[in-house]
Structure 1
């Protein structure tokens, strides 16, 4: 009994958490047929699994005062889940007006099935409480057999229809163009297959019982446990279309941290220009996207502050040395920029009167990725390029010689 309680209660609590999340997330859309169908599907599923725990079965039977009333309650909830999940996918696949023509039939049919189950239950002799083997214990009683048969067929048809329409919907051209939505529908399809398998196994065992074969009864005990696990693909199915598109790419996350650490030495070297603008937003310290974005903003701000102090002789010397070393065009630009920043950022460079360069000579990145790459090249040149060291040193010697004259 302990394992039954553990599985049913755990899965039921997951379903209740999902229900609470969906009610909160969709509270502004109450009244929409799709939302009503969605909330009904999650509610029926969560409470059916929760009430199927043997501990809750005993409590429900005691509170109701009707032996095995929990079986009627749980089975009715399962039928409600099958019908609402079938209606839900029809609302997803078709316009509301068109879907409602079919959903109306589902509501009437499944409502009638639950009503018939209630009548059959109370017409049956089920006075001995059975927590986990109600089906096999009473299988040969005619009214119970019909009760079980319509319950299982309704479950198989409803959940099978859900699985089929979800799978077909995922293949629709309009939906397949939205990969996360298509993945979510495939998981919904898988969710429907669990109750279908459960119903098929139960029907098989019921048929065997009528032929007097009891060796398959153990399958009837295992089938509900398998069906309860459908709550997990249901959670995944509902989460994928919402959170999938927001999921940060692990490779992009790693690349952003690499960019951050590549820019960090240059950022630290120039922070003295205006340390007041350095900012890390609350809660974003470990967010590499935010950290790199702030680095780029601050580096661009410091660059513009230093631009009036750029020395044309430093730029010309760095350009000449870089071209002499046969560097690619991007690397030449990075070396020249790094040399200018090094010279202007030093106390000597900024002690001179500012000489603003023409705006046309100042090149800014226009694409985010290109901007990242440009600043990474500048940072590496600033730290490691011997050409930057040579150009700045030559300019310093020229300036010193001019001062002696």
Structure 2
């Protein structure tokens, strides 16, 4: 169980990164996608390499006492830079300004990382400290400065992110605002972490022992903070993706009545190739639309455009809008044509010269309107009239 408070958040962040990996592969040129992926990967690395068992293992493998200290500090600095870079790309704006700010941020925090490595190389830290390195070496030249540089850089990023996220949250709504509020809470906790570290280091400099602030209070605060920040970044993107997926599945379901209405008239051999049940929603919508278009083409000789015109006029007279009248009239014509086709098993009807394109050419949105209109009383009346006509003419 030792180090579990570090490995659990690291595992959660790795899973989140794995979920983003397909998107990164497909859109690796997108700065926002890259920034999100890097943030998740760096955040998980922070917790993994900051766990005492990992610290001991890295020190042992490298043969350098406390080698993990600058490694963890550099990763923490990279995490701060990743947060700033993600926010810069997330907010958008002029491309030149975004690139300039990104380069400035990268250069600044790269300099901090180099400074930490140089300071550790110049200092001496022969005694391995797994949890209290910050306070144990606070009187050691260069090592003290390395600790302060990392704390200042981390605090600066937390202050900037807190201010920017709070300002932005006042101008947006929905999941984006919820994500920004979570991020504000996470970066406030980052400031609590930094305050605990600064207090412990300052106490040691003045001869007091407040090490528990650094070894006991700070780690769980950092864990919760990282989870809030990661959730805040991912939440709006996840909600956006789920919303798009929901809309696609809604379109697929709404096309169902029209698809089922036309299915009997399409010859079995000409139907679209069946796709697996786990296929993406957009592919299933595409297949359903293709099936509907095939059905419309097979019904073309049986369309009664006079019926459509009469139905449209009646719906308009009842107070409906133009779009609803068009959809209802098209649905009535389709329903009547299906029954006319069923009454002509030998296909004796001569095809008309006019092809039916009012629904097919408009795309899925208009097809959805027609599909929903199939349930209207006007269309049901058309079905009954067609059925009574067929029974009276055997």
Pairwise same-fold verdict (TM > 0.5): yes
Quote the Cα distance in structure 1 between the aligned partners of 2:304 and 2:105.
Answer: 77
Find 2:222's aligned residue among 227, 234, 252.
Answer: 227
Matched, 1:206 2:201: yes
Q: What are the residue-to-residue correspondences of 1:243-322 with 2, within 5 Å?
A: 245-249=240-244, 252=247, 255-256=250-251, 258-263=253-258, 265-268=260-263, 270-271=264-265, 273-279=266-272, 281-283=274-276, 290-309=283-302, 315=307
Q: Residues 150-185 of structure 1: CA distance to partner in whole angstroms, max 9, x if unpaired?
A: 3322321244345545666x5899xx79x9989877
Q: Contact 2:193–2:221 at 8 Å: present in 1 too?
A: yes
Q: Residues 71-112 of structure 1: CA distance to partner in whole angstroms, max 9, x if unpaired?
A: 343234324544565567668773545764675455435522
* Change in 2 beyond 3 A, CA 1:353/1:283: closer
Q: What are the residue-to-residue correspondences of 1:68-217 with 2, within 5 Å?
A: 68-82=66-80, 86=84, 94-96=97-99, 100=103, 104-120=107-123, 122=124, 127=127, 129-136=128-135, 138=136, 141=139, 143=141, 147-164=146-163, 170=168, 192-210=187-205, 214=209, 217=212
Find 1:53's aligned residue among 51, 54, 70.
Answer: 51
* RMSD, aligned α-carbons: 5.1
Larger radius of gyration: 1
In the alignment, what sits opposite 2:368? Answer: 372
Most deviating of 39-48 and 147-156: 39-48
1:385 partner SS: helix
* Change in 2 beyond 3 A, CA 1:194/1:386: same
Q: Contact 1:335–1:381 at 8 Å: present in 2 too?
A: no
* Change in 2 beyond 3 A, CA 1:357/1:54: same
Q: Contact 2:116–2:146 at 8 Å: present in 1 too?
A: no
* Change in 2 beyond 3 A, CA 1:41/1:296: closer
In the alignment, what sits opposite 2:25? Answer: 25
Most deviating of 235-244 and 53-62: 235-244
Q: Which runs of 5+ in 2 are unaligned?
A: none
1:359 partner SS: coil
Q: Contact 1:260–1:291 at 8 Å: present in 2 too?
A: no
Most deviating of 181-190 and 139-148: 181-190
Q: Contact 2:300–2:351 at 8 Å: present in 1 too?
A: yes
TM-score normalised by L of structure 1: 0.68
TM-score normalised by L of structure 2: 0.70
Quote the Cα distance in structure 1 between the aligned partners of 2:289 and 2:348.
Answer: 27
In the alignment, what sits opposite 2:338? Answer: 341
Q: Contact 2:10–2:45 at 8 Å: present in 1 too?
A: yes
Q: Contact 2:186–2:226 at 8 Å: present in 1 too?
A: yes
* Change in 2 beyond 3 A, CA 1:54/1:23: farther
Deviation (angstroms), 1:202? 1.1
Quote the Cα distance in structure 2 between the aligned partners of 1:255 and 1:67.
Answer: 59
1:354 partner SS: coil
